[in-house]
Amino acid sequence: MCTAITYKTKNFYFGRTLDLEYSYSEEVVIMPKKFSFPLRHSKTRARKYAIIGTAFVPDTIPLFYDAANEAGLCMAGLNFPENAKYNKVNENRTNVAQFELIPFILGNCADTEEAVKLIRKINITDTAYSRKLPLTDLHWIIADKNECVTVECVADGVKIYDNTAGVLTNNPPFNMQTFNLNNYINLSPGQPKNTFSSKLELKNYTKGLGAAGLPGDLSSQARFVRAVFTKLNSVSGKSEEQSVNQFFHILGSVSQPRGSNRLDGDKYEITVYTSCCNASDGVYYYTTYGNHRINAVDIRKVNLQSDELYRYPHINKESFNKQN
Amino acid sequence: MCTAITYKTKNFYFGRTLDLEYSYSEEVVIMPKKFSFPLRHSKTRARKYAIIGTAFVPDTIPLFYDAANEAGLCMAGLNFPENAKYNKVNENRTNVAQFELIPFILGNCADTEEAVKLIRKINITDTAYSRKLPLTDLHWIIADKNECVTVECVADGVKIYDNTAGVLTNNPPFNMQTFNLNNYINLSPGQPKNTFSSKLELKNYTKGLGAAGLPGDLSSQARFVRAVFTKLNSVSGKSEEQSVNQFFHILGSVSQPRGSNRLDGDKYEITVYTSCCNASDGVYYYTTYGNHRINAVDIRKVNLQSDELYRYPHINKESFNKQN
Amino acid sequence: MCTAITYKTKNFYFGRTLDLEYSYSEEVVIMPKKFSFPLRHSKTRARKYAIIGTAFVPDTIPLFYDAANEAGLCMAGLNFPENAKYNKVNENRTNVAQFELIPFILGNCADTEEAVKLIRKINITDTAYSRKLPLTDLHWIIADKNECVTVECVADGVKIYDNTAGVLTNNPPFNMQTFNLNNYINLSPGQPKNTFSSKLELKNYTKGLGAAGLPGDLSSQARFVRAVFTKLNSVSGKSEEQSVNQFFHILGSVSQPRGSNRLDGDKYEITVYTSCCNASDGVYYYTTYGNHRINAVDIRKVNLQSDELYRYPHINKESFNKQN
Amino acid sequence: MCTAITYKTKNFYFGRTLDLEYSYSEEVVIMPKKFSFPLRHSKTRARKYAIIGTAFVPDTIPLFYDAANEAGLCMAGLNFPENAKYNKVNENRTNVAQFELIPFILGNCADTEEAVKLIRKINITDTAYSRKLPLTDLHWIIADKNECVTVECVADGVKIYDNTAGVLTNNPPFNMQTFNLNNYINLSPGQPKNTFSSKLELKNYTKGLGAAGLPGDLSSQARFVRAVFTKLNSVSGKSEEQSVNQFFHILGSVSQPRGSNRLDGDKYEITVYTSCCNASDGVYYYTTYGNHRINAVDIRKVNLQSDELYRYPHINKESFNKQN
């Protein structure tokens, strides 16, 4: 399914894995302020901020998977199957279709606080993009350099949770995911002392034993625990290269190799792509399953006042560096 | 510590992670047949095969961590702390110092069978390379495209185990590692059916739940189980690019992010480098912690009759591919 | 903390463990219909049903831990620390103090359906019994031979959940406990087949490996999973002796030996007592930590029209059967 | 399968569970010194010590499962399937059939040291008792109040291991079982502090979380870990009643409820009986699956110079104590 994280060194970074058994043609897309993105149920308004992120562009408008805006606000939608419950259109409210939510929020809000206020005002609807692209069950992580929240539309209404760890995966609902972390309270990145029994000599026969009990499968709860553990204990330098490098190492801990997660019909869920956006500068880095090298697209290199999309198809082929 | 695996598609691949809290200056080294490698305790003999691998070259001769020879035989040494017991020099036998073992075997043997025969004949000694580079506790994985074994010098003598899974990590001894796999017999890469109780409705709320129970920490037993699971269930194409790509994904499942494995003195064990040698063609691929891009050195591009080493220092810096 | 279960063979059984680091003077108490139990906030009404259960009798009235009534309805209160949120007294409603809830429900309801209706009508208050016996954070399991529910007063209001498994322990809230069972979907009481990998020979070197992954600690989530697994897979005869015998074996799987659960101040949480009430006949069986033998008190042997309590102090001393 | 433990307070206690899917007619048997126990392959010698234990008596001689002698030496045989390798009869040595080993050792040795010396001298043979009672794969725990060892006849020869924990279950071989304890080094009977991450507030939402990760299934490795943890952390008084009571609580942690361990043909492995012998005084306590009450047979009450067996069939029926 997917994992998203935030990471802060000198700059603020935000990214995710997209784990699926298929892939559309993902692209890095820069959406300038004047690009026309007509809303289904509301009057289309001018957007304040340009956006960079990964999207699928079925026709003319981009369907964003994760993105950041010029102001440093970031947002990603992750699978939330059977738990997401969107609303019907309500004529008395500002209706925003689920697939419009990322550009709507990032186009108009400068930080998480503004995003939360705006979400409380709007009505997120169950409008499908098209017959071929039906409604997807999602929940969202929204973050800037100071704050991070999770937004879930469930049967009970819209829930907005503080996301202290800065991590999101999938099911179950976020309050259950965070509660479950308590069960790993006695794990440690350090080397353990014997607390099993003072009457027995035990030994650290290997480094890494302090985290024995950390789940290693690819279920959404296991990935949540592992990503939180890896991220919160992460150590890296603060330079751009060091930060981006470490970010991909953190998400590497929840990456899905082909074969380990077999679906019916002998399909395999894999990590289609992994992204890391420097939200302070607007540089979007990514790798794909087929390409270990880190690619980069820089929002500062295009005209953000334009009315056209800038599109950079994901590169999904290894580029070996031949040393001889 | 470390993890080594074999992988076979159209060609045969062999590689490993090196997990340490420090790093010497690792290099890819090609050692042609006529390069002089004087043995400490035996008459130096001509070598039949050139070798390519990662080594540290303290003075003039390479100390190989993992390597392959022209004939397609591969070998790597992995940490085996407190379990490795080497012999004293025995004048009546062919003595091979522990640090000479990889070039000795790969220089003279065409396949695993020959390697096993030769190991049974020689006396592996506890000779240190130098005062600064003391003896290391190691065990070895030796493989060609048809066969794989683990070699351990323990208190009981030299043990040579069939290595069906084609995976090696560290402690405990290999027979315990393989026995431990039985404890994961009911894990699966597929999606599970409810066998807990027919009286209860349970649901697959996430993909990947069939492998619940797979250990996720960085201890050597956990990495062994995870690497075996990931490798044996791996699915990939057979082309060079597909095979190498998948190989790095498999070893990615046991990669060590900085921070998750904290040693005393606030040092951190990380995956210093990851290698993948196409042993059929003699192309050695690797990544480093600091560089996600895959680098390649090709044995076919140099003169294998030479008497000099060819040396290619590991590149440890990201090389972002700027798409705009 | 505690575990409660239901069990049905020919008759219906209900019981629990009480796990604490101390013990009041528990007694089996039979409370006939005319025994005066004055309510704190409401007019005391006549009770329809006599009650049998374990209680602490601080002064004149019994504080029930678990009990059954003549009609076969059963109820137990289990620790629910920091999650239980009771109401203030509300003059417009029928107020029932938390400590009055068991006798109030069992005194007036014939089955779970009636109990649920009554609970929806009343206001459960945070009234403490006395200064010395302050408010306890509890949630409840209510069951008859056909149905079982969990009742929780939380910040959100009163939640009543179907309890299909017929098991209750403690934190977290019941919806999280039941969700967590999904994580054990691939466990089985049967002997496992190898689904790890067809490329590896694994073997069932021991019976019982199908349930590898079942948690063995004494936390409330672990006890919940273990009790559900043990109960739902339980196999027993239907006679009174066979049923009661098996009931104590099921609860034995979550029993707390002294020493395994050490609290601050070197206190130890232990299973103070374990009960099993045949709710069809009104026979209350129990063991104590200090006494493995099963003791029995029969409601049919006393005058249920009486206005006095019948009290049988728990026996906490082994009674060895000397065979020679 | 089975679990055996030792326990020392003021006196020394030794006992085991017998876990099987069937049961012969077990009895407590006292075998006086002069009772004739003819050896198959050796001259029958006078025995120094009378023995008390549980045995099956197919014809005239007892086949002991676990027993103690007058001197306080204890021994039990536990299943060791496919790993036990006994010898052929060797005319040059003292041959002792596997089924004779317990009475042979306990009849002649005063303590563990003597037992170890004697075992090193003899040849343990693969002689079956009869056609109907074929050879059983066993290993043994031998203990007195000062010392405990495990004895295993494997392909490599006879192995005698110090058993510091004083616990034995079944497969794998004992050195692997004890190594595996290292994997639980960070478990604790105490309440855990948060070592997962200082950047996250986690809470002890339940008592008992310090042992999260303790295995809860009925496999022989899980029972070994759980029994060692429970025994080594056990806290009890020193009186006879307190000691025996606690002993049964410890073994209760590895007891097998009917249904949790289902074999082919819908048979169920259960804990047929649990024993606890006060080896200092020669009092043998036991419970059966069908009877929670503790029964006792006292060696001091019979004539130990007799030449006849004293036999006390196991009681397998609940004896409820009716309190009214």
> DSSP characters for B126-166?
---S-SSS----EEEEEE-SS-EEEEEEETTEEEEEE-SS-
Cα A297 from Cα A284, distance rounded (Å): 5
- Which amino acid, residue D270? I
Give the mean model confidence (pLDDT) for residues A288-315: 97
Show the low-confidence residues of chain B (pLDDT under 70): none
Asked if D202 lies within 8 A of A181 by C-beta distance, the reply is yes
Q: What is the mean pLDDT of residues C266-295?
A: 97
Nearest Cβ partner for C255 among D252, D263, D295: D252
How far is the C-alpha of B261 from the C-alpha of A214, rounded, in Å? 13
Of C179, C219, C221, nearest to A172 by CB-CB distance is C179
ipTM surpasses cut 0.85: yes
Tens of pLDDT along A240-254? Answer: 999 999 999 999 999
State residue A298's pLDDT score.
98
Q: Is C109 known to be catalytic?
A: no
Burial label, B43 (beta-carbon count in 10 A; 0-12, 13-18, 19+): exposed
Set of chain B residues whose Cβ sits within 8 Å of the Cβ of A298: 322, 324
Name chain D contacts of C191, Cβ cutoff 8 Å.
Answer: 262-264
Task: Supply C75's token pair.
Answer: 């109820």
Instruction: Please give the residue of chain B at the shortest CA–CA distance from D259.
Output: B197
Q: Is A215 an 8 Å CB contact of chain C?
A: no
Do the Cβ atoms of D185 and A194 come within 8 Å?
A: yes
* Rounded CA separation B143/C101 (Å): 71
C-alpha B152 chain-centroid distance: 14
The four Cα atoms C185, C187, C192, C195 give a dihedral, to 10 degrees, of 40
Question: Encoding tokens for residue D286?
Answer: 């036991």
CB contact under 8 A, D196 and A185: yes
Query: Are A229 and B256 in contact, with CB atoms under 8 Å apart?
Result: no
Which is nearest to D94 in space by CA: D71, D63, D117, D69? Answer: D117
- What's the gap in Å between the CA of B179 and the closest CA on chain D? 8
Mean pLDDT of A115-130: 96
Alpha-carbon gap, residue D37 to C277, rounded angstroms: 49
C156-178 confidence digits (pLDDT tens) = 999 999 999 999 999 999 999 99
Judging contacts by C-beta atoms under 8 Å, the chain A residues touching residue B258 are 234-236, 246, 249
CB D37 within 8 A of CB D106: no
User: Quick check: D46 pLDDT over 80?
Assistant: yes
The alpha-carbon gap from B58 to the nearest alpha carbon of chain A, in Å, equals 22
Angstrom distance (rounded) from CA C263 to CA D207:
8
Residue B202: left (phi > 0), alpha (psi -120 to 50), or beta? beta
Q: Which chains touch D (3 or more CB pairs under 8 A)?
A: A, B, C
- What SS3 state is found at D259? coil
Q: How far is A23 from A17, CA to CA, in rounded Å?
A: 13
Would the pTM of this model clear 0.90, i.e. be above it?
yes
Which residues on adjacent β-strands are paired with residue C159?
C152
Band (A275; pLDDT cuts 50, 70, 90): very high
Alpha carbon of D102: minimum distance to chain C alpha carbons (Å)? 24
Q: Which residues in chain C have their CB less than 8 angstroms from residue B233's CB?
A: 197
Number of neighbouring beta carbons within 10 Å of residue C123: 18
Inter-chain contact A214–B219, Cβ cutoff 8 Å? no
Q: Count of CB contacts below 8 A, A vs C?
A: 10
Range D196-203 average pLDDT: 95
Using the Cβ of B179 and the Cβ atoms of chain D, whether some distance falls under 8 Å is answered with: yes
User: Which pLDDT score, from 0 to 100, does residue B76 have?
Assistant: 98
Average pLDDT, chain C: 96
Instruction: Tell whether B193 is within 8 A of chain A (Cβ).
Output: no
What the block records as the tokens of C93 is 């409603």
Q: In the structure encoding, which two tokens stand for residue B311, read together?
A: 């040396």
The Cα D182–Cα C19 span in angstroms is: 29
Q: What is the 3-state secondary structure (H, E, C) of C191-213?
A: CCCCCCCCCCCCCCCCCCHHHCC
pLDDT digits (tens, 9 = 90+) for C27-63: 999 999 999 999 999 887 789 999 999 999 999 999 9
Interatomic CA distance for residues D204 and C217, integer angstroms: 14
Where are the extended beta strands (E) located within chain B?
Answer: 2-8, 12-20, 27-31, 51-56, 63-69, 74-79, 95-97, 123-125, 138-143, 148-154, 157-162, 167-168, 262-263, 267-268, 270-278, 283-288, 291-298, 310-313, 321-322
CA-CA distance, C257 to C260, in Å (whole number)? 6
Q: Is CATH 2.40.30.10 correct for B2-313?
A: no
Contacts of C48 (CB under 8 A, 6+ apart): C33, C71, C107, C108, C110
CA distances from C61 to B271, C35, C39, C58, D95 (A): 67, 9, 11, 7, 71
Residue C179 touches chain A, beta carbons under 8 Å? yes
The C-alpha atoms of residue A117 and residue A138 are separated, in whole angstroms, by: 20
All residues at 6 or more sequence positions from C111 whose CB lies less than 8 Å from its CB, including other chains: C71, C72, C73, C144, C146, C147
SS3 D222: helix
Residue D45 has pLDDT above 80, yes or no: no
Look over chain A and give the mean of its residue pLDDT values, rounded to a whole number.
96
| Residues of chain C with C-beta less than 8 angstroms from the C-beta of B164 | 199-201
Q: Which of D156, D179, D199 to mutate to test the interface with B (most CBs of B within 10 A)?
A: D179
CB contact under 8 A, C221 and A183: yes
How big is chain D by its Cα radius of gyration, in Å?
Answer: 20
Q: What's the gap between Cα D242 and its chain centre?
A: 20
Spatial distance between the Cα atoms of B48 and B59, rounded to a whole number of angstroms: 23
Using alpha carbons only, what angle is made at residue B147 by residues B144 and B149, rounded to the nearest 5 degrees? 100
Give CB contacts under 8 A, 24+ apart, made by B56-63: B56/B24, B56/B25, B56/B26, B56/B27, B57/B27, B57/B29, B57/B309, B57/B311, B58/B24, B58/B129, B58/B130, B58/B132, B58/B133, B61/B37, B62/B27, B62/B29, B62/B31, B62/B103, B62/B309, B63/B99, B63/B129, B63/B133
Assess whether pLDDT exceeds 80 at residue A24.
no
Least Cα distance to B83 among B23, B24, B159, B19 occurs for B159
**pLDDT tens by residue, C106-157:** 999 999 999 999 999 999 999 999 999 989 999 999 999 999 999 999 999 9
Return the percentage of chain D with pLDDT > 70, whole number: 100
Chain C residues with CB inside 8 Å of D222's CB? 208, 212, 216
- Residue C207 touches partner B, C-beta closer than 8 Å: no
Half-sphere CA count of C6, side-chain side, radius 13 A: 28
pLDDT of B43? 84
pLDDT at A43 over 90: no
Residue A165's closest CA among A58, A250, A49?
A250
Q: How far apart are CA B176 and CA D183, in angstroms?
A: 13
- Cα–Cα distance measured from residue D244 to residue D294, given in angstroms and rounded to the nearest whole number: 9
CB distance C233–D262 less than 8 Å?
A: yes
pLDDT for the residue numbered B316:
96
